[in-house]
């Protein structure tokens, strides 16, 4: 787990910016959870959308509106403009508790425009009941997922929802870092986290016990009708940091009158070995680049600044942020705002000495 967490942190430290096209269409997957057209998906799937289009398994296409969002847990709920003609909605697994080794099926719409237009199905197992750094919000699953699977359902052998596909390790970067290619290391947000979010928004959903042991094909027949293709049209051209943690940091500013104000942490920030790896890499990268670009600034001052920046970024960063940047090569606007606050606080702190 130590090597894996270091590599996940390394996936964050690629420097640069990504400019979104003037009219970008991002696609992902969603889960029909309500007969009135409520769709559960990842928040990053529907970030900054001018319009959202849903396509159901029966071919029905409808526009949708964002009605609820949870940035911290990367969840969102959409509502279709009209209830879909299909009556099939997802049922959340209630009992018994999920166990390591349990069989699961993943459905979604990966690599839109390349693979089949219908929902793709993949099978696997629950590899662990926690994500990176033992984050209890996530499941680690072995079923293969690709870009476009985000927001899609992970179901058990009864066809009941147990998770929402969220992220995967970047195999290329892991291979470069440790000399081996990770296989089928993917993550899904637990259904219980989604249920807590839905409860807080007073959005109803169905639950049931899971007792059946159906074949993957039969499970697919149950889940396909509630698996939805989500297309988000983004028109705002924006430059976003691909990795705020290691972008070249400006030299600490001269003394300023304003006091340093620490930004709010993101649900306690990163924890354990993932935090250690993140802070170490961020501080080293920042120190090296800032010293090279600003040789006139004393090295101890640069180190203090970069240490402040690395610790602050770790406090302001969640695993959902890491997963989003790893998959999309860019950060959310909310994450960029948090990192900007950290940067301003550290410049004030060091500059006021």
Give the catalytic positions in this structure.
44, 74, 150
Residue with tokens 């001018």: 50
Residue 135 phi/psi, 5-degree rounding, is -70, 115
C-alpha span between 293 and 16 (Å, rounded): 16
- Can you tell me the distance from the alpha carbon of 17 to that of 8, in angstroms, rounded to the nearest whole number? 19
Q: How far is CA 326 from CA 78, 82, 123, in A?
A: 24, 34, 23
What residue ranges in the chain does DSSP mark as E strands? Answer: 17-19, 24-32, 38-41, 51-55, 61-70, 75-80, 91-93, 103-108, 120-128, 138-141, 153-155, 161-168, 186-190, 206-208, 227-234, 239-241
Place of tokens 């964002």: 66
Note whether 109 and 229 are within 8 A (CB).
yes
Half-sphere exposure of 111 (CA within 13 A, CB side): 7
Q: How far apart are CA 154 and CA 209, in angstroms?
A: 16
- 301's enclosing H/E stretch is helix 299-316
Q: 123 — phi, psi (to 5°)?
A: -115, 155
Beta bridge pairs of residue 79: 38, 65
Residue 32 contacts residue 91 (beta carbons within 8 Å)? no
Q: Which has the closest alpha carbon to 29: 164, 229, 224?
A: 229
């Amino acid at each position: 787990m130590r090597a894996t967490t270091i590599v996940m942190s390394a996936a964050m430290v690629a420097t640069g910016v990504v400019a979104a096209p003037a009219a970008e269409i991002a696609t992902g997957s969603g889960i029909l959870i309500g007969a009135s057209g409520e769709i559960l998906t990842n928040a990053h799937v529907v970030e900054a959308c001018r319009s959202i289009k849903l396509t159901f398994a029966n071919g029905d296409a409808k526009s949708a509106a964002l009605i609820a969002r949870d940035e911290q847990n990367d969840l969102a709920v959409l509502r279709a403009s009209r209830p879909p003609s299909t009556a099939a909605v997802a049922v959340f697994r209630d009992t018994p508790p999920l166990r390591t080794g349990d069989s699961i099926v993943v459905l979604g719409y990966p690599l839109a425009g390349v693979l089949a237009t219908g929902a793709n199905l993949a099978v696997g197992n629950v590899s662990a009941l926690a994500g990176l750094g033992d984050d209890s919000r996530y499941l680690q699953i072995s079923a293969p997922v690709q870009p476009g699977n985000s927001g899609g359902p992970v179901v058990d052998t009864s066809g009941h929802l147990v998770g929402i596909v969220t992220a995967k390790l970047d195999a290329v970067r892991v291979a470069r870092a440790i000399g081996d290619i990770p296989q089928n290391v993917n993550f899904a947000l637990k259904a219980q986290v989604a249920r807590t979010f839905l409860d807080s928004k007073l959005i109803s959903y169905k639950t049931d016990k899971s007792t059946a042991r159906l074949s993957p094909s039969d499970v697919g027949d149950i889940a396909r009708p509630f698996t939805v293709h989500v297309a988000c049209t983004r028109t705002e051209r924006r430059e976003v940091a691909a990795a705020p943690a290691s972008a070249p940091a400006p030299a600490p500013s001269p003394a300023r009158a304003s006091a340093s104000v620490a930004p709010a942490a993101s649900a306690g920030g990163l924890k354990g070995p993932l935090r250690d790896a993140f802070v170490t890499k961020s501080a080293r990268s920042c120190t090296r680049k800032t010293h090279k670009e600003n040789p006139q600034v004393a090295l101890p001052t640069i180190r203090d600044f970069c240490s402040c920046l690395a610790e602050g970024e770790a406090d302001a960063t969640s695993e959902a942020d890491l997963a989003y940047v790893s998959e999309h090569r860019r950060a959310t606007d909310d994450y960029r705002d948090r990192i900007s606050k950290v940067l301003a606080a550290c410049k004030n702190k060091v500059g006021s000495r």
